Amino acid sequence: MPAVINPLRTALIAVAVAVACLGSASNALATQDPPGASLGDGPGPKAADTSASAGAQGDKLSSSVTGVIVFDRSKNGTGTSTGGVTSTTTWTPPACYYAPSYTPKEISSRMRQIWMGSSPSPEWSRKTQDYFVNGKPYKDFNEEKEGEGYWWDAYITEGREADPAAQDCDALPFWVDKGDAPPADVPQAITSEVLAQLAYSEIRVPSTEVSLAPAGATKVNLPTWAWLDTTQFKPVSVTASVPLLGLSATTTAEPVSLKITPGTNDAITYPASGECAIRDGQIGEPYAKGKADETPPCGVKYLRSSGDGAYMLKATVTWKINWTSTTGEGGDLPDGTFGAEQDVTVQEVQAVNR
């Protein structure tokens, strides 16, 4: 089945090419993002540069296409082997969202370039002119409300560009007065909770490679102790903000358990579930000399040699995740997991004949 060509995307390309050919007087405009970059019924949401600051300067939004959301990752996990958590449910953070994008003068300029240049079709032009200009439902791009609110449009969450759900935000831009909540029937519109969900995507936690002892190759039928460096496993958090709205939310992940998967059915885990709860701030317990025959609080006992190879042990940490916000709202988000695999060589205990 051939790909569907979106008429607005074609129009935007034509406008951008035309602008680029207008000469030096228009070169500044040609370097801007394509006019009407997502504007509903069009090429879909635009990707947001989430590293910039955002604000309003007169009749322009510095967050018009970039920097609508700012992430503070300074309290995230660190190190070379950090990674994002995976939800323990089918829920995922939103792939797209709506946020402030244009002032009335900005959206008027962008739309008029499309209408005067190469709009997708007469029908689409009539529809959007009725919508933005002729009072169905907006009049003259709400220019009489300049400074009193913003046009909200769609953005794609960074890293989700190929996700089909990124195309769910396909509505035409809508107006929101300053201080008002976005429409309740637009679930992807930025709220404190949506910000918290987007911050969930930015959480990074430490590697989960466990320490195993006794040192050296593990022996058949001897308990192997497992533990993690607890200095790395502290709560981590990311704050997502929309400076333009004075709104922010902080999502925090706290480690709650370590699950050991031995890599073979010929093994016994401690505890039997393989799920090692965190106790007194510790994940497992470091091995100490003289404990070789004791049952570890967290560990594994292999019942068969790995031969010339190794078993692939997987250690997965579960993180409990919650959020707070500047609005006073907060709550829980689905637990997240992050795991890593490591080789474990298991040898037979050698007997000495006398």
pLDDT, one tens digit per residue, over 162-173 is: 999 999 999 999
The 3-state secondary structure of 237-284 reads EEEEEEHHHCEEEEEEEEEEEEEEECCCCCEEEECCCCEEEEECCEEE
Tell me the two tokens of residue 339. Answer: 């795991």
Q: Percentage helix, strand, coil, to 5, in the chain?
A: 20, 30, 50
pLDDT at 320 over 50: yes
Least confident of 108-122, 126-140, 242-256: 108-122
How much is the pLDDT for 45? 59
Determine which of 28-32, 42-46, 70-74, 263-267 has the lowest per-residue pLDDT on average. Answer: 28-32
> The whole model's pTM is what?
0.79
Rounded to an integer, what distance in angstroms lies between the CA atom of residue 39 and that of residue 132? 11
Structure tokens, 150 = 């913003």
CA 198/CA 50 separation, integer angstroms: 11
Which stretch of DSSP H or E encloses residue 105?
helix 104-116
CB atoms within 10 A of CB 304: 14
Instruction: Report how far residue 118's alpha carbon sits from residue 240's, in angstroms, rounded to the nearest whole number.
Output: 38
Q: With bands split at pLDDT 50, 70 and 90, how would you rate the model's confidence at 119? A: low
Among 291, 243, 259, 295, CA closest to 70: 243
- pLDDT-derived band at 67 (thresholds 50, 70, 90) equals low
**Is the CB of residue 79 less than 8 Å from the CB of residue 207?**
yes
Q: Return the pLDDT at 197.
A: 97
Residue among 211, 319, 205 nearest 260 (CA): 211
Is residue 116 predicted with pLDDT exceeding 70? yes
**What is the C-alpha to C-alpha distance for residues 15 and 110, in angstroms, rounded to an integer?**
10
pLDDT digits (tens, 9 = 90+) for 79-100: 778 899 999 999 999 999 999 9
For 63, other C-beta atoms within 10 Å of its C-beta total 26
Quote the mean pLDDT of the chain.
81
How many angstroms separate the CA atoms of 155 and 49, rounded?
Answer: 10
What is the C-alpha separation between 199 and 76, in angstroms, rounded? 11
CA distances (Å), 147 to each of 58, 99, 178, in order? Answer: 8, 16, 8
CA quadruple 61, 65, 68, 70: dihedral positive or negative? Answer: negative
Buried b vs exposed e over 14-47: b needs ≥16 C-beta within 10 Å? Answer: ebbeebeeeeeeeeeeeeeebbbbbbbbbbbbbb
Task: Provide the 3-class DSSP secondary structure of residue 123.
Answer: helix
Asked if omega into 271 is within 30° of 0 (cis), the reply is yes
